[in-house]
Amino acid sequence: MNTERYHARAWEPAATGGSNPTDFVSGVVYRCVVPRTQIVDPHARDSAVVACCLAAGAVSDAALSDRRKAAILMDCLGVLAAISPPGQVMTFGQFRAGLTRPLRELLPATIDLGSTGDVVLLDAEGMLSPEAEDVCHEHFIGCAALDQHWSQARVRAEQEEQRLYLALRDLGAVGYTRARELLTDNPAGDLRTLRRKWDELWPRFGDYTPISGWRWAQLNGWWFACPSCHWPMRVIEGDRLATVRCDAHDLRGIRYTAQTDNAEGKPPVLQPAGRDAPPVAGQPATSDHLAVSRSVWRYVTLPGVLECELRDHARGLGAQVEMWPDCDSYDVLIEVGSKEWRVDAKAWASPDRLADAFRGKSTAVPLYIVLPDHQQCACTALDEQLRAQGYRVRTAGQLMDEVGREARKTR
């Protein structure tokens, strides 16, 4: 991981004014001065920049209550505190006042922000400057983040997804398709198998980490792959009985129970407890059993599983199917006769976020956004919301019905 070293310093006034909180409104900003070496993760620095933008977005919103503004500012100040030297974090007043000054004055002075450091987020009237939106775009989030006052968690999720796909595209067209297939089919497993499957691409992608470090996925030293997505299932230990379920597929009925007093050296036996729970054998949670990071699973593996299910079903109907054409301008191209469906599968935990994600975007050729079947309720509303922009929203089942009807017509 890239890190940058900087000399952290004690905060001292960088502009004229006293220490009374009301002075902060006039622009007193503290910058640091005691040399000390500290390592800053560039992601943490970027999060701090975005936190400043979100704070400015909140302050500039006249419709937002003071209470909500204060809560958002505190949330953002927490992000800045994480990269500030211990004991030298800005006060709330300093932070708020600093939003009308160049961005570099809000971050420890030795962090190099380049020209971004010159950006002033709030103008003299307290309005959000156009540059603030540019900064957000450069950090992988759209203007919706500022208008809707996204939480830090939501920003991080959005950035993580964008970063993952940028890194995947760096692998080139062939590597991209191959890596997406591998991350879909092999999000967890033993090192030897993973090495063999990935071949020369190993370990360039996926953030594979030992499952032995994931207590939440273990029962007496064993882990269990979800039969649908193949990533480790969550273990919730009870007194004598544990529940084992997939975080994504529990709703679909992938859930088991297991006795916690399994014999030494033998994996606990899973008993189906959900309506869709085929047999699963335990695997040793040793250091050579690895799994992709939760973000990779969430943003690459899960949509991949949905896409591969669509692919298999459509091919079964006699359709022509192409996966991840053009490095992911969309995910699956399904063709039956002269009709085609360009599909973008979305396995998000919260489909409500989707309307925001597609805000301001449009497509000339209809793009089908496909959600898992259990998100049918969200589907109709989203379809109405996004139709004018060229999108159609369907569940996987609905799309397959459409493809099936077309396939019958062409026979």
Is residue 246 a contact residue for Zn ion (CB under 5 A)?
yes
Distance of closest approach, residue 295 Cβ to Zn ion, in angstroms: 15
Is residue 226 a contact residue for Zn ion (CB under 5 A)?
yes
3-state SS string over 214-241? CHHHCECCEECECCCCCCECEEEECCCE
Give which of 196, 255, 192, 193 is closest to 228, Cα–Cα.
255
For residues 235 and 219, is the Cβ–Cβ distance under 8 A?
Answer: yes
Helix (H) or strand (E) segment spanning residue 95 = helix 92-98
Nearer to Zn ion, 157 or 306 (CB): 306
* Phi–psi pair at 370, nearest 5 degrees: -110, 130
Nearer to Zn ion, 105 or 247 (CB): 247
CA distances to 73, 180, 222, 298, 364 from 325, in Å: 42, 12, 38, 21, 17
Q: Which stretch binds Zn ion (CB under 5 A): 120-128, 243-251, 277-285, 401-409?
A: 243-251
Angle, CA 209 vertex, CA 207 and CA 214 arms, to 5° = 130
Distance of closest approach, residue 374 Cβ to Zn ion, in angstroms: 13
Nearer to Zn ion, 299 or 358 (CB): 299
Distance of closest approach, residue 345 Cβ to Zn ion, in angstroms: 15
User: Per CB under 5 A, which of residues 264..293 are in contact with Zn ion?
Assistant: none
In angstroms, the CA 124 to CA 388 distance is 38
| Binding pattern for the stretch 363-392 against Zn ion, x by CB under 5 A and - elsewhere | ------------------------------
| Binding pattern for the stretch 57-96 against Zn ion, x by CB under 5 A and - elsewhere | ----------------------------------------
DSSP state at residue 260 = S
- In one letter, which amino acid is 1? M
If phi > 0 it is left, if psi is from -120 to 50 it is alpha, else beta; for residue 136 that is alpha
User: Per CB under 5 A, which of residues 93..152 are in contact with Zn ion?
Assistant: none
| Binding pattern for the stretch 247-266 against Zn ion, x by CB under 5 A and - elsewhere | -xx-----------------
Distance of closest approach, residue 311 Cβ to Zn ion, in angstroms: 18
Q: Which stretch binds Zn ion (CB under 5 A): 37-45, 219-227, 322-330, 365-373?
A: 219-227
If phi > 0 it is left, if psi is from -120 to 50 it is alpha, else beta; for residue 48 that is alpha
Is residue 186 a contact residue for Zn ion (CB under 5 A)?
no
DSSP state at residue 288 = T
Nearer to Zn ion, 94 or 218 (CB): 218
Nearer to Zn ion, 228 or 375 (CB): 228
Give which of 219, 198, 239 is closest to 280, Cα–Cα.
219
Size, binding site for Zn ion by CB under 5 A: 6
Nearer to Zn ion, 249 or 313 (CB): 249
Question: By the criterion CB under 5 A, which residues form the site for Zn ion?
Answer: 226, 228-229, 246, 248-249
